[in-house]
Amino acid sequence: MSRIGKSPIPVPQGVTVTINGSEVKVKGPKGELSKALRPEISVKQEDDKLIVVRSSEDRIVRSLHGLSRTLVANMVQGVTQGFQRNLDIIGVGYRAAVEGKTLVLQLGYSHQVDVPIPQGLTVTVTKNTALTVTGADKQMLGDFCSYVRARRPPEVYKGKGVKYSDEVIRRKAGKAAGKKK
């Protein structure tokens, strides 16, 4: 048995779980999420806990067991607490603003970069250089943040670009450090 897969998922008060075959729908105060799991994996609800069960001991099915449990647990956590990711924009003249449902970025290009904000995510900008992205769907949140970061990833000499706030950029010394006579 997978250590992760066999642990039950607690369902807090105010969260309703609907299981329809291989599709799991979770509804809570922060929204509603649904996920279609593989047919080899099934979810059972017992009292206030969800249990993920696999159909066989095949290698593929065993590898899907822990993954499916984690996906369902992320759905439950997303509709109760939500997820949050912080991004920092570093560079002279680099800034961000939210205009309606669009994130407008000035990242040193000759034009501004417009990124549409998906439905279900909330983006707030503080100090023009700090972004906070919140949402119930962990995968959508991560995809959006990585897309924004990819518009101008941090470079290794000065660290200019868009980075996660907990990301550490390993800096290179540059030309001046290499000259010695």
User: Is pLDDT at 151 greater than 80 in this prediction?
Assistant: yes
User: Is pLDDT at 166 greater than 80 in this prediction?
Assistant: yes
Angle, to 10 degrees, between the axis of helix 59-80 and the axis of helix 138-151?
Answer: 90
Model pTM score: 0.86
Query: Given pLDDT bands bounded at 50, 70 and 90, which one contains residue 114?
Result: very high
Same structural domain, 64 and 107 = no
Contact by Cβ (8 Å): 77, 137? no
Same structural domain, 87 and 160 = yes
With pLDDT > 90 as the criterion, what percentage of the chain qualifies? 49
Same structural domain, 97 and 138 = yes
Same structural domain, 151 and 105 = yes
What span, in angstroms and rounded, lies between the C-alpha atoms of 93 and 129?
Answer: 10
Same structural domain, 39 and 107 = no
Domain-located, residue 173: no
What span, in angstroms and rounded, lies between the C-alpha atoms of 38 and 67?
Answer: 11
Domain-located, residue 175: no
Q: What is the CA radius of gyration of the chain?
A: 21
Burial 116-138 (b: 16+ CB within 10 A, else e): ebeebbebebeeeeebebbbbbb
What is the count of structural domains for the chain? 2
- What's the pLDDT at 176? 73
User: Is pLDDT at 178 greater than 60 in this prediction?
Assistant: no
Q: What average pLDDT score do residues 126-148 get?
A: 92
Same structural domain, 32 and 92 = no
Note down the domain range covering 104: 83-164
Same structural domain, 114 and 75 = no
User: Is pLDDT at 140 greater than 90 in this prediction?
Assistant: yes
Encode pLDDT of 13-41 as tens digits: 888 989 898 899 999 998 899 999 998 88
Domain-located, residue 24: yes
- What's the pLDDT at 180? 65
Query: 3-class SS at 156?
Result: coil
Q: What average pLDDT score do residues 156-180 get?
A: 82
Q: What average pLDDT score do residues 64-92 get?
A: 92
68: domain CATH number is 3.90.930.12
Start-to-end C-alpha separation, the chain: 63
Domain-located, residue 95: yes
Domain-located, residue 43: yes
- What's the pLDDT at 138? 93
What span, in angstroms and rounded, lies between the C-alpha atoms of 15 and 107?
Answer: 41
Same structural domain, 91 and 113 = yes
- What's the pLDDT at 112? 92
